[in-house]
Amino acid sequence: MRNNKKFQGIRDIRQLQLKDAAIELFGMKGYAATKISEITNKAEISHGLFYHYFKSKEDLYVHVILELLESLLNTINDVEEKYDNPLEQLKQLTEVTHSGSLKEGVYRHILIIQALYSDHLPVEVKKEIVEKYREMVQRIALIIEKGQKNGEFIEGDAEELAIYHLSLVHGLLLSNARKMVPIEVSADKVLRQLTRKATEEDSE
């Protein structure tokens, strides 16, 4: 029993190493330009062992994308459980997006966008990815809709505002990654575009 747990632990670590290496390489080079040998070299795992964990490069790619989207949905669940206020929920989501390594955040963002517009994935897989991303947008839209009822967020189509918000967050990630005009991202400043109080003050 103990040996089985130890084996599973090693397996989990190796899978994680391959996924982390894949996120960086897929994000930096793109799916087509990334070779399995590059992923295994970066993960410091033999090429032959790769196939103990994933059927193919595409299998790894799909696993990574779906896990990233599932992680974002879980983060939404977490903030909704911890905070009752919609404005605070969206603030926490924004801060989580910009927490950790900037490079990792950028690669994750690029990977998700690549997957949404990819033409190399099977139709059913692409459909699942698009549906999960749409679910994320709709969940954020629901937070905004609740905030609109509370008078916290500006009026407008909640789903459109969710997309505007995501576009701003992702744009800031990319801008900082390019280091053209690096800024310290503030969740309060990001949310200024959505909060009713800010627009009222600006119009006075």
DSSP letters for the chain: -HHHHHHHHHHHHHHHHHHHHHHHHHHHH-TTT--HHHHHHHHT--HHHHHHH-SSHHHHHHHHHHHHHHHHHHHHHHHHHH---HHHHHHHHHHHHTSS-HHHHHHHHHHHHHHHT-SSS-HHHHHHHHHHHHHHHHHHHHHHHHHHHTT-B-SS-HHHHHHHHHHHHHHHHHHHHHTSS-----HHHHHTTTBHHHHHHHH-
| Number of CB atoms found within 10 A of residue 31's CB | 19
pLDDT reported for residue 201: 47
pLDDT in tens, 77-106: 999 999 999 999 999 998 887 665 556 677
The CATH class, in words, for 55-203 is mainly alpha
Tokens, residue 8:
């599973």
pLDDT reported for residue 23: 92
Q: Which CATH number fits domain 1-54: 1.10.10.60, 1.10.730.10, 1.10.3720.10, 3.40.190.10?
A: 1.10.10.60
Is the Cβ–Cβ distance between 19 and 39 less than 8 Å?
no
- Backbone dihedral angles phi then psi of residue 195, each to the nearest 5 degrees: -75, 135
Q: Is the pLDDT of residue 3 over 60?
A: no
Place of tokens 């990574």: 64
Q: Distance between CA 76 and CA 162 in Å, rounded?
A: 13
Predicted confidence band at 10 (pLDDT cuts at 50, 70, 90)? low
Q: Distance between CA 48 and CA 128 in Å, rounded?
A: 29
Q: What percent of the chain has pLDDT over 70?
A: 83
pLDDT in tens, 144-187: 999 999 999 999 999 999 999 988 888 877 776 666 556 666 78
pLDDT reported for residue 27: 86
Give the mean model confidence (pLDDT) for residues 8-15.
77
pLDDT reported for residue 196: 87
DSSP lists the bridge partners of residue 153 as 195
Nearest-5° Cα angle at 123, 121 to 126: 60
Predicted confidence band at 204 (pLDDT cuts at 50, 70, 90)? very low
The segment(s) of the chain belonging to CATH 1.10.10.60 are: 1-54
Predicted confidence band at 188 (pLDDT cuts at 50, 70, 90)? confident
Average pLDDT, the chain: 85
pLDDT reported for residue 4: 61
The segment(s) of the chain belonging to CATH 1.10.357.10 are: 55-203
Predicted confidence band at 198 (pLDDT cuts at 50, 70, 90)? very low
Q: Is the pLDDT of residue 114 over 50?
A: yes
